[in-house]
Amino acid sequence: MQQIRSQVTERDGLFELEAGSDVLDSPRYNHDMAPTKVHERTWNKWHITALWVGMSICVPTYTLGGVLTAYFGLSVGEALLAILFANIIVLIPLTLNAFPGTKYGVPFPVLLRSSFGILGSNVPCLIRALVACGWFGIQTMFGGLAIHLFLGSVFDGWKSLGGTGEVIGFMLFWALNLWVVIRGAESIKWLETLSAPLLVLVGVGLLVWAMPNVSMTELMAIPPKRPEGASVVSYFAAGLTAMVGFWATLSLNIPDFSRYAKSQKDQIVGQIVGLPLTMFLFAALGVVMTAASVKLVGVTVSDPVTLIGHIQSPVWVAVAMALIIIATLSTNTAANIVSPTNDFQNIAPKVINRTKAVMLTGLVGLVLMAHELFKKLGLIVSDVSLETVYSNWLLGYSSLLGPIAGIMVVDYFLIKKQQLDLAGLYRDDVYPAWNWFGFIAFGVPVALTLLSLGSDAFSWFYSYGWFTGSALGGVIYYGLCVMKPQLSIVKSAV
């Protein structure tokens, strides 16, 4: 006989939901969005470390040093310091927002129901999902190029396909990504665990190949591309903000992964060990490889896929491309598909299950990359480059998500005091449908950030967008929640 009311039990600080008909029949619940059982929380610190190694070692990380030197006017040394500091900073919201996921076993969209409302949670979820789908498309483009080069090294006639071969590679890699995520969290865990040591070997191999062809002294002495005598502070701060924005999205939906952690200690240690150093070292490798590329292949090449494609040995190209395919797959599945899959389910959990949500994610990512795919097929001619999209729009857009991170941290730790009604997150009778305090706290800093684009006096607000947004969003949310009794009195008097 099915129990009518849900029961919540605690084991060693981890809460578990025994769902009754009040939750099972709710339109806000499905099996994929349900809190993980304690026995399902199997990820230890090494699994979480492997997750971050797998996500960090990817083509975009490799190009970060070049982005900061070319677009943000930093020297090589300044760029690498900005990357290291940014990833230490982003550990704070990552670790804090992971806490409720580990404690209650809930994914990101369900946690947002506490701060934005049962229905209101869909707004920040869909904003987050759009960013993830954009990154999914870009990473799939890199993975598709690796498949194209792999097949070209194995089959002589494949290279003649040119852009058409790249599009075929894109579609093959696109399907492979979706298949992994449809199989569930355990498949992602084992993919990350198995790929992490392989990816470290790739980095070491590339470094051994490059080091005889580059002088570190000369590389570090290259002057920055900014006006002579200009203060480094504003340039460094802008680059730092952009690098924080690189993982700003994951700092929101980290509960999608921490819900599988064995304990709070495991998620904290795993993230500290896995993220900052991996990002720093692989970005540094990218700087070294780009500098060495002139001597290695005769031209300056800023991404590893194209660089390795210049190698004359088909065997080494095939091996290297296979490893890059694994690297990009491990990044893409975890960082860019899991979140929108959960976000799309949150719209209508009874209608959209995990498989449908994964396919929807894939479709949106495909649409966002349609322009680039049509270019490769020769159907359109355009000067808009994938690098422009990556370095400008997505990094800038990600920085606008700062207020959500601040609101989530304040809601859980200061307003709710780390106490959530687990069953209530899946019903309509505990939390409001729309929490307007969350929307006001999100809307004000976003509006100020956008307005600052047209003002020289307040341009700093945009340049430091993630920091200003997260701090202001959290402060406004806290102020509104604390003032709620007074606001209620004023409303009733009116």
Which residues are 14's β-sheet partners?
11
Q: What is the predicted pLDDT for the residue at 18? A: 94
> Whole-prediction pTM value?
0.88
Q: Assess whether pLDDT exceeds 90 at residue 274.
A: yes
162 compared with 433, residue with greater pLDDT: 433
Task: Give me 226's structure tokens.
Answer: 């900014």
> Which range among 112-121, 291-300, 410-419, 463-472 shows the weakest confidence by mean pLDDT?
291-300
Place of tokens 């150093």: 277
**Predicted confidence band of residue 2 (pLDDT cuts 50, 70, 90):** low
The tokens 């920091």 sit on which residue? 467
pLDDT of amino acid 395: 55
Calpha distance 15→294 (Å, rounded): 56
Residue ranges per domain, the chain?
A: 42-396
Least confident range from 185-199, 327-341, 402-416, 431-445: namely 185-199
Residue range 168-186: mean pLDDT, rounded:
91
Which of these, 461, 355, 477, lies nearest to 410 by C-alpha position?
Answer: 477
Q: Which residue has the tokens 């994964």?
A: 358
**Which has more confidence, 29 or 468?**
29
* Cα 25 to Cα 184: distance, rounded to the nearest angstrom: 23
> Amino acid identity, residue 63?
T
The Cα 244–Cα 466 span in angstroms is: 7
Residue-wise pLDDT tens digits, 473-490: 999 999 999 987 655 444
Mean pLDDT value across residues 406-414: 97
Long-range contacts of 372-380 (CB under 8 A, 24+ apart): 372/141, 373/167, 373/170, 375/163, 376/163, 376/164, 376/166, 376/167, 377/163, 377/164, 377/167, 378/163
What CATH number does domain 42-396 carry, 1.10.4160.10, 3.40.50.1000, 3.40.50.1980, 2.60.120.650?
1.10.4160.10
Residue 398's pLDDT is 61
In order, the DSSP letters of 192-248 are HHHHHHHHHHHHHHHHHHHGGG--HHHHHTSPPSS-TT--HHHHHHHHHHHHHHHTH
Contact 442, 124 (CB under 8 A): yes
Q: Is the dihedral of CA 207, 212, 216, 222 positive or negative?
A: negative
* Residue 67 Cα distances to 52, 145, 231, 252, angstroms: 21, 20, 19, 24
Instruction: Give the separation between CA 2 and CA 20, rounded to whole angstroms.
Output: 7
Closest Cα to residue 399, out of 491, 461, 356, 458?
A: 461
Question: In b/e form, how buried is each residue of 276-286, taking b as 16+ CB within 10 angstroms?
Answer: bbbbbbbbbbb
On the question of pLDDT at 3 being above 70, the answer is no
Mean pLDDT of 232-247: 84
The larger pLDDT score, comparing residue 298 to residue 99, is at 99
Contacting residues for 382 by C-beta, under 8 A, at least 6 apart? 371, 375
Whole-angstrom Cα Rg for the chain: 23
Q: What percent of the chain has pLDDT over 70?
A: 94
Q: Name the residue with higher pLDDT: 136 or 211.
A: 136
**Contact (CB, 8 A) for 284 and 135:** no
Tokens of residue 56, six digits: 């960090």
Going by pLDDT thresholds of 50, 70 and 90, the confidence category of residue 231 is confident
Whether the pLDDT of residue 299 is over 50: the answer is: yes
pLDDT at 428: 94
- Between CA 199 and CA 195 the distance in angstroms is 6
384: three-class secondary structure by DSSP: coil
Q: Inform me whether the pLDDT recorded for 416 exceeds 90.
A: yes
Residues 467, 472, 477, 478: is their CA dihedral positive or negative?
positive
Judge whether residue 135 has pLDDT over 90. no
Tell me: pLDDT of 317 over 90: no
Q: Does pLDDT of 94 surpass 90?
A: yes
Residue type for position 187: S
Q: pLDDT value at position 494?
A: 39
pLDDT higher than threshold 50 for residue 492? no
SS3 157: helix
Cα–Cα distance list, 372 to 9, 71, 164, 271, 381 (Å): 51, 22, 12, 34, 10
How far is the C-alpha of 191 from the C-alpha of 375, rounded, in Å? Answer: 32
CB 207 within 8 Å of CB 288: yes
In whole numbers, what is the pLDDT of the chain averaged over residues? 87
Are residues 175 and 363 in contact, defined by beta-carbon separation less than 8 angstroms?
A: no
pLDDT for res 252: 93
Q: Are 57 and 368 in contact (CB under 8 A)?
A: no
Taking the C-alpha atoms of residue 475 and residue 491, their distance in angstroms, rounded to an integer, is 22
Would you give the end-to-end CA distance of the chain in angstroms?
A: 50
Per-residue model confidence as pLDDT tens digits over 347-401: 999 999 999 999 999 999 999 888 889 988 888 877 766 656 655 665 566 667 8
> How confident is the model over 256-270, as pLDDT tens digits?
999 999 999 999 999
Per-residue tokens: 484: 């709620």
Our CA dihedral for 383, 388, 390, 393, rounded to 10 degrees, sits at -110
In this prediction, residues 273-281 reach a mean pLDDT of 91
String of DSSP letters for 86-135: HHHHHHHHHHHHHHHHHHH---HHHHHHHHH-TTTTHHHHHHHHHHHHHH
